[in-house]
Amino acid sequence: MSQVNVIPFHKGSMDMKDLLGGKGANLGEMTRSGLPVPPGFTITTRACLEYYKAEENLTSQQKQEIATALTALEKETGKQLGSSDQPLLVSVRSGAVFSMPGMMDTVLNLGLNDQTVLGLARLTDNERFAYDCYRRFIQMFSDVVLGIPHYRFERIIDERKGQTQTSSDTELTAPDWQWVIDRFKKVVREETGEVFPQDPMEQLYRAVIAVFDSWNNQRARIYRKIHKIPDDLGTAVNVQAMVFGNLGENSGTGVAFTRSPSTGEKTLYGEYLINAQGEDVVAGIRTPEPISSLKNEMPEVFEQFQRIARKLEDHYQDMQDIEFTVERGKLYLLQTRSGKRTAHAAVKIAVDLVQEGVIDRKTALKRVDPEQLDQILHRRIDPDAHLNVIAKGLPASPGAASGQIVFDADKAERWSQEGKKVILVRPETTPEDIHGIISSQGVLTSRGGMTSHAAVVARGMGKPCICGCEEIAIDLKKKTIQVNEVVLQEGEELSIDGGTGEVIKGIVPLIDPELSDEFQKLLRWADEYRRLSIRTNADNPADAAKALQFGAEGVGLCRTEHMFMETERIPLVRSMILAETQEQREEALQRLLPLQKEDFKGIFEAMKGLPVTIRLLDPPLHEFLPNMEELLIDLTRMQMTPDTDPQALQEKETLLKKVRTLHEFNPMLGHRGCRLGLIHPEIYAMQVEAIFLAAAEVLEAGGTVEPEIMVPLVGHVNELKELRKRIEEVAKQVKSKTKYQIPYTVGTMIELPRAALTADEIAAEADFFSFGTNDLTQTTFGYSRDDAEGKFLHHYVDQKILPDNPFITLDTAGVGKLVSMGVNLGRQTKPALKTGICGEHGGEKESIFFCHQSGLDYVSCSPFRVPLARLAAAQAALGKSVEED
């Protein structure tokens, strides 16, 4: 007979997890290592998938195998399902391959009916206990199998407690429970039109089916979506002899972790309840006791449990989450799995286990999920604080911040210069608000999504941000925000938690991100194994210094447009753009030059001689000018005011005309990047001169530099060829002026499909390629990111038309193919070509794995993601992602 449907615990083991699910595999493993586990068998995930195909019923083969396994279980326990003398009771428990705690269903005390309950009372000499089990069974079976909501039954229990003037379940007596059971049965009859099923085999088959079905309930689906667990795995079902924690004061049930899942500290961490069954601990009916008090109440059991917990941890070589039950002083184990934990705990436990000699470094590196590290690297709210939450928005950038409410960017900047902490609150933000974002502790917007400007910028800066918080009404005139009846004025204190999206009234206590000793150690181990270099995206010395502290080995992308956006420079940048003559433009640029030089010098110094890739100006010029609609409104207003200064009016009109000429139908594909550099050579010439002058000053002061000049948006080799020639000319000029030979390289972004396709030609002119995978994704898919994410992309992902959002997880099949092709073609021409990736993908785990496999030299990401990237790069080199329990 085939063994695919049902497998007894004593034949199961850890490596059969795909077939038995996590719970079943571990029950098997524990049974085989001689631990006290109540016997039982597992109905496999394969049986579950077959059941889905077999149109809602168990196959006769499956029923037969279940019956055979049950007979063996009866022999082993000396009891029989449905017998009144020696009734066997079982639990029917869900258990998927990846643990989904509490998401699916379980039925306890199955096998009870009007006859067997009498046998159970006789056998245990405890009538109260037997009726307590029966009512629990009716309640759970009705909920899970018959779909009758729980509260229908809880009400009846409350009614009885009222009648008898008792407050806790344990005070109800056998006659009370009998009364309750009668009423329960009536509810079942009303709701289903049938009597409560009395045949134990029918009970069993129906429970198995219901547990199979619970794989598809709403909360399980949502859980799988969040944790990227495939929908088509199905669940196993475990049928297990019951043990009873509700047999009196010498019985109980509990859950414990072998180490703290919150801090990782090596102490037993858990709770238990005396005289209770498993689900009572989590249901909150009574407040459980901390596990440490079990030491006084049941010293021997506690000793034994502690010993077993340690043994299980040694066996699995990881922190375990263990369920246990004590029946009349005897300890039973009901489940073990590797425990879910915070990032702090994950890091500490992994490093501690290495130091205890339990696991090696490689294993430790695989144990921590890089994505989870986000939690550690941002300021967060003290978990013990009481919070007054007034609204909830999209958790756009993790971390927490408190400050005074400010409604515009200028004021944010002013207030912060005065030493105040501010939270910038806007309907939405635009690039012109950048100085306000920089000056604030965090950003809250009422419009816009997870990739809105505010969100992207805030994440890039590691600043907390909540977007699209539509519940709050922002009144920019009155300078108030309102949520229901709460009204807050400018200057009042507000806090945001960008990890949860919670908007909180008042100041909350924050704790700093800390690179604990363990964390530093783990990252140093990661450095030993990874092949990829890790660089950072940084536009200013502070970010660069932060990234260096987090272990960055260079700057992979220094965007120069943010420098142009700074408040005191915007007028200069504008006069450069608006210049009527070549001289006017040159003059504006000459005034920008020393400022740019200082920018670059600051970054070179912060990076202490490590390579710095500087991208020449990329966005279209109109981004630095005021918005056309707003200008039109201003102008109209001025025209309608009788005593407007004619000169001011004239200036406005000129500005509007210029904005109109620069207006583009599709700026993303318009006059930007190297196209701008070729048409307005003086802009790049100024930037390149600033780079070389800054480098010369650093050399002069005895430092070292490694500038890498990056030309954006090249699509044809001739673009780069021409610009490279001009860069070399500037280098010569600077050399003759400063006498310093600056070591530098010239390379390009590969962010257009044509660039990837002709990478062999482009490589002839480039010392390095940096894949700009954000633009490459836009141009490969033909999506404009903001439009796609705002309109159809979520739908695409929900409908599984696309597996993931390609702007978050690199599309390896399409965009990735272009990357690999670019690397390979480029190296054909120039074997020493340096290759990297910059942009958000450079800080994303799966994309980093891909970069490793494609043979890139480095990834570059925002400073706060550098530690994550170090770890992910090590995992890529070790050839396996995080271990799942």
Separation of alpha carbons 450 and 31, rounded Å: 48
Binding site, annotated residues for Mg(2+): 751, 775
CB of 785 to Mg ion, least distance (A): 11
Amino acid at 293: S
**Residue 24 partner contact from ligand ADP, Mg ion, none using kind-dependent CB cut-offs of 5 to 8 Å:** none
Catalytic residue from among 378, 453, 622, 841: 453
Torsion angle of the four alpha carbons 30, 31, 33, 36, in this order, in degrees rounded to the nearest 10: 90
308 and 297 Cβ atoms separated by less than 8 Å: no
Rounded-to-integer distance, Cα 554 and Cα 132, Å = 67
Please tell me the distance from the alpha carbon of residue 333 to that of residue 831, in angstroms, as a whole number: 60
Amino acid of residue 35:
L
In whole angstroms, give the CA distance from residue 730 to residue 29: 71
Alpha helices in 397-539 (DSSP H): 409-417, 434-439, 453-461, 517-529
With contacts defined by CB under 5 A, name the span among 327-335, 433-441, 535-543, 853-861 that binds Mg ion.
327-335
Candidates 133, 465, 467, 838; catalytic one: 838
Which residue lies nearer to ligand ADP by CB, 223 or 792?
A: 223
Burial of 570 (0-12, 13-18, 19+ CB in 10 A): middle
31 binds ligand ADP (CB under 6 A): no
Complex with ligand ADP: residue 39 or 449, whichever CB lies closer: 39
SS3 of residue 787 by DSSP = helix
- Using rule CB under 6 A, residue 93 touches ligand ADP: yes
d(CA 398, CA 733) in angstroms, rounded, equals 47
323 binds ligand ADP (CB under 6 A): yes
Burial class (CB in 10 A: 0-12, 13-18, 19+), 471: middle
Task: Give the nearer residue to ligand ADP in terms of CB position, either 236 or 810.
Answer: 236
Counting Cα atoms < 13 Å in the Cβ hemisphere of 306 gives 14
Which listed range, 61-69, 101-109, 195-203, 369-377, lies at the site for ligand ADP (CB under 6 A)?
101-109
Q: Which does 325 bind (CB under 5 to 8 A by kind): ligand ADP, Mg ion, none?
A: ligand ADP
Give least dist CB 843 to Mg ion, A. Answer: 16
| 308 touches ligand ADP (CB under 6 A) | no
Residue 840 as a binder of Mg ion (CB under 5 A): the answer is no
Residue 108's binding partner, choosing from Mg ion, ligand ADP, none, with beta-carbon cut-off 5 to 8 A by kind? Answer: ligand ADP
Q: φ, ψ for residue 143 (rounded to 5)?
A: -65, -55
DSSP-assigned states of every residue in 231-250? TTS-EEEEEEE---S-SSTT
* Interacting span for ligand ADP (CB under 6 A) from 237-245, 542-550, 610-618, 877-885: 237-245
Which one, 92 or 607, has the nearer CB to ligand ADP? 92
Give, for 285, the enclosing helix (H) or strand (E): none
Is residue 41 within 8 A of residue 9, CB to CB? The reply is yes
Distances (CA, A) of 224 to 216, 228, 232, 233, 661: 10, 6, 10, 11, 51
335 sits near ligand ADP (criterion: CB under 6 A): yes
Using CB under 5 A as the criterion, what x/- string covers residues 174-213 for binding Mg ion?
----------------------------------------
Single residue of 26, 275, 320, 325 touching ligand ADP by CB under 6 A: 325
> In terms of CB distance, is 294 or 538 closer to ligand ADP?
294
Among 719, 767, 775, 846, binds Mg ion (CB under 5 A): 775
What would the two tokens of residue 470 be? 């539509």
Rg (CA), the chain: 33
278 binds ligand ADP (CB under 6 A): yes
451 binds ligand ADP (CB under 6 A): no
* Member of 6, 73, 97, 108 binding ligand ADP (CB under 6 A): 108
In terms of Cα–Cα distance, which of 532, 626, 535, 598 is closest to 848? Answer: 532
Q: Which of 596, 779 has the CB closer to Mg ion?
A: 779
* Cβ distance to Mg ion smaller for residue 19 or 334: 334
The nearer residue to Mg ion, 731 or 838, going by C-beta atoms, is: 838
Sequence ranges of the binding site for substrate: 559, 615, 751, 772-775
Confirm or reject binding of residue 26 to ligand ADP (CB under 6 A).
Answer: no
* Residues forming beta bridges with residue 834, ordered by sequence position: 768
Nearer to ligand ADP, 274 or 766 (CB): 274
Question: Which of ligand ADP, Mg ion, none sits in contact with 242, Cβ below 5 to 8 A by type?
Answer: ligand ADP
Q: Which of residues 731-770 bind Mg ion (CB under 5 A)?
A: 751
DSSP letter for 256, please: E
User: How far apart (Å, rounded) are the C-alpha atoms in residues 729 and 723?
Assistant: 10
- Number of Cβ within a 10 Å radius of residue 601: 22
* Residue 242 binds ligand ADP, judged by CB under 6 A: yes
How many other C-beta atoms can be found within 10 angstroms of the C-beta atom of residue 119? 18
Interaction of residue 143 with ligand ADP, rule CB under 6 A = no
The listed partner (ligand ADP, Mg ion, none) that binds 885, CB under 5 to 8 Å by sort, is none
* The one segment of 51-59, 332-340, 372-380, 825-833 that binds Mg ion by CB under 5 A: 332-340
102 scored as a contact of ligand ADP (CB under 6 A): yes
By the rule CB under 6 A, 240 interacts with ligand ADP: yes
Annotated binding site: 559, 615, 751, 772-775
335 lines the binding site for Mg ion (CB under 5 A): yes
The answer to whether residues 431 and 438 touch, using CB atoms and an 8 Å cutoff, is no
Among 24, 772, 836, 867, binds Mg ion (CB under 5 A): 772
What is the 3-class SS of 556-605, one letter each residue? EEEECHHHHHCCCCHHHHHHHHHCCCHHHHHHHHHHHHHHHHHHHHHHHH
Residue found under tokens 């599984």: 800
What is the nearest approach in angstroms of Mg ion to the Cβ of residue 586? 28
Q: Identify what 334 binds: Mg ion, ligand ADP, none; CB under 5 to 8 Å per kind.
A: ligand ADP
674 an active-site residue? no
Quote the CA–CA distance of 610 and 107 in Å, as a whole number: 62
Q: Which is nearer to ligand ADP, 218 or 736 (CB)?
A: 218
Q: Is 838 a catalytic residue?
A: yes
Q: Are 42 and 238 in contact (CB under 8 A)?
A: yes
State the SS3 of 678-743.
HHCHHHHHHHHHHHHHHHHHHHHCCCCCEEEEEECCCCCHHHHHHHHHHHHHHHHHHHHHHCCCCC
Residue 147 interacting with ligand ADP (CB under 6 A): no
468 binds Mg ion (CB under 5 A): no
Residue type, 627: N
Select the binding partner of residue 102 from Mg ion, ligand ADP, none (C-beta < 5 to 8 A, by kind).
ligand ADP
Tell whether the torsion through CA atoms of 798, 801, 805 and 807 is positive or negative. Answer: negative
Pick one of ligand ADP, Mg ion, none as the site partner of residue 772 (Cβ within 5 to 8 A by kind).
Answer: Mg ion
Candidates 102-110, 194-202, 399-407, 643-651; binding stretch for ligand ADP (CB under 6 A): 102-110
Q: Which is nearer to ligand ADP, 50 or 105 (CB)?
A: 105
Query: 3-class SS at 136?
Result: helix
Min dist. Cβ of residue 378 to ligand ADP (A): 32
Residue 149's binding partner out of ligand ADP, Mg ion, none, with CB under 5 to 8 Å set by partner kind = none
Supply the minimum distance, in Å, between the C-beta of residue 697 and Mg ion. Answer: 29
* Closest distance of CB 82 from ligand ADP, Å: 17
Neighbours of 459 (CB within 10 A): 24
Instruction: With contacts defined by CB under 6 A, name the span among 236-244, 293-301, 313-321, 641-649 that binds ligand ADP.
Output: 236-244
The whole-angstrom separation of Cα 729 and Cα 308 is 74
| Residues within the interface to ligand ADP (CB under 6 A) | 38, 91, 93, 102, 106, 108, 240, 242-243, 278-279, 323, 325, 334-335
| Residues within the interface to Mg ion (CB under 5 A) | 335, 751, 772, 775
Catalytic residues: 453, 838
